[in-house]
Structures are given as C-alpha cells and as structure tokens.
Amino acid sequence: MEAGLARAGGAWSGPVIRVGPAGWSYPDSPGHLYPADVPSKFDALAFLAGYFDTVEVNSTFYRPQPRRTFASWVRRVAPNPTFRFTVKLWQRFTHERQGPWAADDVRLVTEGLDALAAAGRLGAVLAQFPWSFKPGTDARGWLRELARDFAAWPVVVEVRHGSWQRPQHLAQIKDLGFGFANIDQPVIGQSLTPTAEATSAVGYVRFHGRNYAHWFGEQEEVAQRYDYLYTAEELAPWVERIRAVAAASGVAEVYVVTNNHFEGKGPANALMLRSMLEGRKVRTPSTLLATYPAALAPWAESDDEGRLL
C-alpha cells in the first residue's frame, strides 16, 4: 500500500493522508463488501487493513473497551505497518451531562488508548458532539474540562451546528488544543456546512452521506440515515478541501473517514477518495466492485480477496 500518500499530478510531498471507513463489523457487509459465504472466523478488520491505512472505531462511543481488546486490534492489523486507528470517544464525555465525569471514567478510556499509543497505532480521538451542542457558556466549560482531562491525547472535536463555523469559536477550539472535524452531512436549517479547517496537527474529514429524508429520524432509521453513495462529482470538491487541510500550517497528518457505512457504501467511497487523491486506480475487493460497478470502475482495480478469507 502507498502509506496513505496523496497525489495531484505528481507525488504528494505534504503530510500523510489516511483514508478509511468508520467501523468494520456491520450485518449488511457480507455480500456487499466481502463475500456472503466467508468462513466463520473471517476477520473483517484484518480484511479492511489490507485496503486502507485507517479505520475509525465506533464501539468505543457506546462503552469503554478493555485494554485487551485494543491489543487484539493491534495484532490484527500487524501486516500493514502504516495503519492507524482513530477512536470515537465514549459518549459519557460528549452526550451525557448529568454532572461532571469521574477520574475513573477517564481512566477507563485512556487505558485502551494507551495500548494503541504504545504500539504506535493511534491516530486521533474523535469527540463527536450532537447537533444540539452549540457555542455558549456551558459548551466552553464542557470543552475546557475535556481539554484538561485529555490534554495528552490527539483529540479532534466534531460539532454539527453551523454556529461553530464563526472564527471566534474555531479559535476557541484551536486554543484548547483540539483538532476540528470537517464534515459532509445533510445541511438542514442551521447545520454546519462544508469546511476545510485545521486547528491542530491532526486534520480530520468525515462523510456522513446526504440522506436528507432520514437524517433526523428515529433510532430505528439509523441504517437508512447512512444509506448513501456519493458520486465522484460530489466527492471532487472534498478532494480539494482535504488537500487544503493537509496544506494548512502545522498539520502533520490527515484522517479522512467515510461513515456512510450501509451495504459497503462507506468503503466504496473511501476507495474512490483514495484513487482521486493518489491519481491512480486502487486495489478494491472484488465483491465491493461487483456491488457498485458503475461508481467504482473508473477508480478501482479488482482484487480476488482470497488471501484474507
């Protein structure tokens, strides 16, 4: 693999750009991302690490994972020396504000992060806040507490309300040492619009899809919310934004994550973005290419997948 290098009419000499999907274990992946008849011991994480240099961990958002689980993830991506994880922060720190979190809450999270960092496999920690999280006194205090307790970690903040785009609020995020997650999402009302901001050494870009009909739907519509395949025309402006983030002063590396995971659409778009950034066709699982032949054909080289089954 090309270690996440980007090309634009020649070798990219700037920071490393790593592109990959969010998560690796979804019930709709078999038959779309990889064959439906894979063996029972098939390792989807190891499979994806053969095509991407990063994956965003989702399970850590719902509950802290033990150190042994992180150690297992490290072992499973060992064949790809350039691979780095990004890890979603436990929702206790972003969605639950019934009182201050405890030191034990921080410890539960950082024990696992320590395992990744010690192995050189940690890229970023994503603190994903809801749309309702808006600038103000409470938000400033919340972010200051987060910065205090996670000062040793490369934290990137994702906010979804458009008011955060104002220069003074971006400056606050930067002053606290946080990176800023540039996102593509359905732009409804006062939602954050596309940006190319960099507020720390870690640049971050996330794609959620543009499924307007289900974006603010109920929990049972989560799969539909992320059922969206970007076209090359929709991705092209983001390729330029990604390059702008990478070219920003002080940026050391950039993570690009596709969260539109339904039926392998996120991995498909991630491979398209890799190809567009690198200026060449990229290896693609043959099952995924068969699922989205028209979208992937200009960007993909088929791979027989056999070595990882």
Q: What are the domain boundaries of the chain?
A: 16-270
Which residues face 189 on adjacent strands? none
CB 129 within 8 A of CB 90: no
Angle of helix 137-149 versus helix 167-175 axis, rounded to 10: 20
**Residue 250 confidence (pLDDT):** 96
Q: What is the pLDDT along the chain (309 residues), one digit of tens a residue?
A: 433 433 334 445 679 999 999 999 999 999 999 999 999 899 999 999 999 999 999 999 999 999 999 999 999 999 999 999 999 999 999 998 777 899 999 999 999 999 999 999 999 999 999 988 999 889 999 999 999 999 999 999 999 999 999 999 999 999 999 999 999 998 888 888 999 999 999 999 999 999 877 777 666 466 678 889 999 999 999 999 999 999 999 999 999 999 999 999 999 999 999 999 999 999 999 999 999 999 999 999 988 764 544
CB 136 within 8 A of CB 102: no
Nearest to 278 by CA among 51, 44, 21, 47: 51
Classify 16-270 by CATH class: alpha beta
pTM score: 0.93
How many whole angstroms separate alpha carbon 25 and alpha carbon 43?
A: 9
**Residue 219 confidence (pLDDT):** 60
**Residue 187 confidence (pLDDT):** 87
**Residue 130 confidence (pLDDT):** 92
CA 8 → CA 11, 166, 236, distances in Å?
Answer: 7, 30, 12
Work out the angle at residue 85's Cα, subtended by the Cα atoms of residues 2 and 199, and round it to the nearest 5 degrees: 90
